[in-house]
Structure 1
Amino acid sequence: MKSKINVLLFVLLSIFGACGSPEEPVAEQETQGEEAEGHAEEEGTVRMSPQQMESIGLQLGTLQSRNLSGNIKVTGELEVPPQSEANVSATVGGNVQEIKVIEGDKVRKGQTLALLAHPELVQMQVDLQEAASRLQYLEQEYQRQQRLYEQKVGSGRDLQEATSNYSTSKAQVEGLKSRLRILGLNTGSILSGKIFQSVPVVSPISGYVQKVNITNGQYVSPQEQMFSVVDRSQLHADFMVFEKDVSKVKVGQKVIFSVANAAGREYTATIYNMSPAFEKDVRAVHLHADIEGSTENLIPGMYIEGRIATDTTTALALPETAVVQEGEQSFIFVKTGEADAEAHADEENHAEEEAPATGEQTAGKVWVFKQVPVVTGASSNGWIEVKLLQPLPDNAQIAYTGAYNLISEMNKGATEHGH
C-alpha cells in the first residue's frame, strides 16, 4: 500500500512540473526584451539637466540657408623682396671703433651704423695726397713740353714721355679717390690736408636694424657681415598652394591668415602674383600676397597659416560649434524631447538620497538630445555647410553650442551603462 502511494505522488509531481516549467523562460525572455528595448531607446541620446545646460551655455537654433565660400588652406611665411633686405659688411678691414645703433633701431639710407679704424686707412689717404702732388707736377711738365713742341723747340719724344707720365699719375689719383669714396670718406677734405682716423659703415637702405653681429674693438675683415637691415614696408606673405588647388586660385583673391605671435588676430592679404615655377618636391606653387593695414608687429621669417575664399555657394549651415568630429564621422545634436527634472535628478543621484534636493536643483526640464550623423562641406565666417543623412522635422532644434560637451556626456553615460 505504501509503495502505491509513493508512485501516485511521483506522477502528480511530474505533471505539475511539466506544466510550470515553460512559463519561467517566457517571463525571463519578456524581462530581457523590455531591458533591451529600454537600452535601444537610450542609444545615441543624452539627457542634460538645467544645471548642465547653464554651465556649458547651451544654445539652440535651426538649420539656416547661408552663402558660404569654399576655403583652401595654405601655409607659408612672411618675406620681403631682395631689394628690401641688406647684409651690411665692411669693404676694408679694420677694428670697430664705435657702434652707433642697436637692434630694432630705425635707420635711413646712408646713415652711419659703425666706425672702423686701421692704420691702412690712414696710409691710403696719405697715398692720395702724395699722388695728387705728383700729378700736379706732371701736369705742369706736360703743359711745358707741349708748348716747347708747338714752338719747334722741344722734341716729340719728350712730349710723349710727359704725356704718358701725366696720364698714369692721373689714373692713379682717380683710383685712390674712388677707393676712398667707397669707404665713405670725403676726398676733397683729404686733398685739402685732412686725414680721417676712421671710416663709416653706412646702411644701403632705409629700414630697421634686425641684427648686429659685431662688438667694440673687434677686428672686422673685408666682406664680413656686420649688420642686417630690413625694410618692413615691403613685407608680404608668401604662401604655398598644392597642385590640386592651383586651378581654384587666381590673382586678386583675398587670403585671411594668422601668425603665432598674435593668437586670435587675423590679417588680410590680396594675391598679386602666382609663381610660374612648380616645386616638384612638395608639388606646390608659391603665391605672393600684399598685406592690408599695419604690419608693425610682423617680422620676416614668421610662419603663417591662412585660408583662401573660393567659389560662393548657398547651402544649409550651422555654426561650427554645433558640429563635432568623432573619428571620420561628423555629428550634430537635435533636441527630441523633455523630461521631468526631478525624476532625472532622482535617477542620477539615487546614491545621495539622504541629501534633500533644493528647488533650484529640480527647477525646469531635462532636455533630451539625439546624436545625428551629417556630412560637412564649405565653411565661412564661423558657419559650416551641413548635409543631412536622414531627414529632420521642420524647425528642428539643434544645439548651436556645447556639441563636444554633449558627446562627452553621452559617451560617459554609455560607459556607465556598460558597467
Structure 2
Amino acid sequence: MFRRSIDLPSRISLVAAIVCALLFPLSAEAAPPPYAELLIDPATGVVLHAQNPDLPTQPASLTKMMTLFLAFDSLDKGELALDQFIPVSRRAQNMSPSKLGLVAGTSIRVEDAILGLVTRSANDAAVVLAEAIGGTEEGFAEMMTMKARMIGMRNTTFLNASGLPNVRQKTTARDIATLSQALIKTHSRHYPYFSRSSFSYNGAVVHSHNRLMNRYDGMDGIKTGFVNASGFNLAATAVRDGRRLIAVVLGGSSSRERDNRVAALLDHGFGVKPLGRSVSTVAVAAVVPTVRATIKADAPRAEKAVAQSPKPTAKAAAKPAPAAKPGSWAIQVGSYKSHKAGQTGLATTEKVIPAHVKGAQGTVLKSRTGVFQARFTGMTKAAAEQACSRLESKGQDCMVVAPRG
C-alpha cells in the first residue's frame, strides 16, 4: 500500500488548521441576543403578557437597579447619607463608559452618585457606591446576589455593580420585573429618583438615557441597558388612573424598537389598544450585527476610539478656548486626563458629526476636579440636543450643557 509522506512543517500546518476548525467553527451570522418580554400588574401579581419570561440573558445596566436597591438600603439603615462624600478609587476612574468622568483621589456626594446611575448609567459611580457599601466590588456583587434571592429573583446572578459584560452574570425578564416591584414597594421614599430626567453635575447637565419616559404619559422609571450579548433592555413602569403596570423587554434590536415595544405593552395593559406581535427572532438576527458594529453604550468604546483616532488636525488643535457666549448651549463629548486628549476627542467628534457641530467652537476646559472637559460651545438648545442624540446613536457619550445664569 502506497503511503504518502508529509514533511514536518506541513504536519504542523495541518494540525493547526484542524484545531482552528474545532475551536472556531464558521457561522453564517452571529446568533442574536435572547429576546424576552413581560407585562405584569404588581398590585395583583397577574401576568398580563409574557414571552420567554424565564429565558436567561445578561442584564446589562439593569444591573444598576440592584446597585441602587442596596444603596437605598444603606441610606435607610443610616450607613450612608445623601450629603456624604465617598472616595473615588483608581478602579472606578478606569471604568469604561458610560461614566461621569470621576477622578481617583477625589470624592463624590452619595446623592450625585445615585443620580449618575439613574440618568447617565455611570459605571464609575456604580463602582464608587459598591466600594463604599461592600468594601470591594466583588464583595458588593455577592451582596447583590444574596439580596436577589431574598426578594425572589431565583435565576439571577450578579458579578459586578455596573452590568458591563460578564458571561456568568445572568437574569430573566421575570426576575427584572420582581426587582422592579421590590424597588417600588420597599423603597417608595427613594423611588422618585428614577423619574429624574436630568441633573447638574460639575457644571454640566446630565440627561437620562430613558427617552421613553419623556413621551409616554404616566411613566416614572426605571432603567435602560445595553451590551452586545443582551441587546437593548428596558424595565419600565407607568401609572394611569391610579393603576401601575410594569413592563420589561430584554433583547431589543434597537433602542427605538425596544421603546416602542414597551409602550405597546403598557398600552395593552391600560386598555388603550390591542397588543400586536412581538419582535421576531428573524428581525433581531438581521439587525443586531449592524448594531453591534456601531453602538456599544454600556461596553468599552470611548477610550479605544480616542486612542486609535488620528491626531487632531492643525485646524482643530489651533482653535482657541473662548468662553461660551451668554445664553449659549454646549455639548460635552468627553472628560479626559489631559488637554491634548481632550483636543483629540474634539477632533474625533468633528469627524463623526461634522454637520451637527458646524459653526460651534471646540474648547477644552479644566474642571475643579482636575479633568479636562471637551466641549462644543455656542449652540442653540435644539442643536445641542440633536448633536447629542446623533452622537449617542453612534455609540459615543455626550452631555447637553445648559447656559449658566
Classify the TM-score, shorter chain: under 0.3
TM-score normalized with structure 1 length: 0.16
Higher relative contact order, chain-length normalized (CA < 8 Å, sep 6+): 1
**Which is higher, the Rg of structure 1 or of structure 2?**
1
Which has the larger strand fraction? 1
Please give the TM-score of this superposition, normalised by the length of structure 2.
0.17
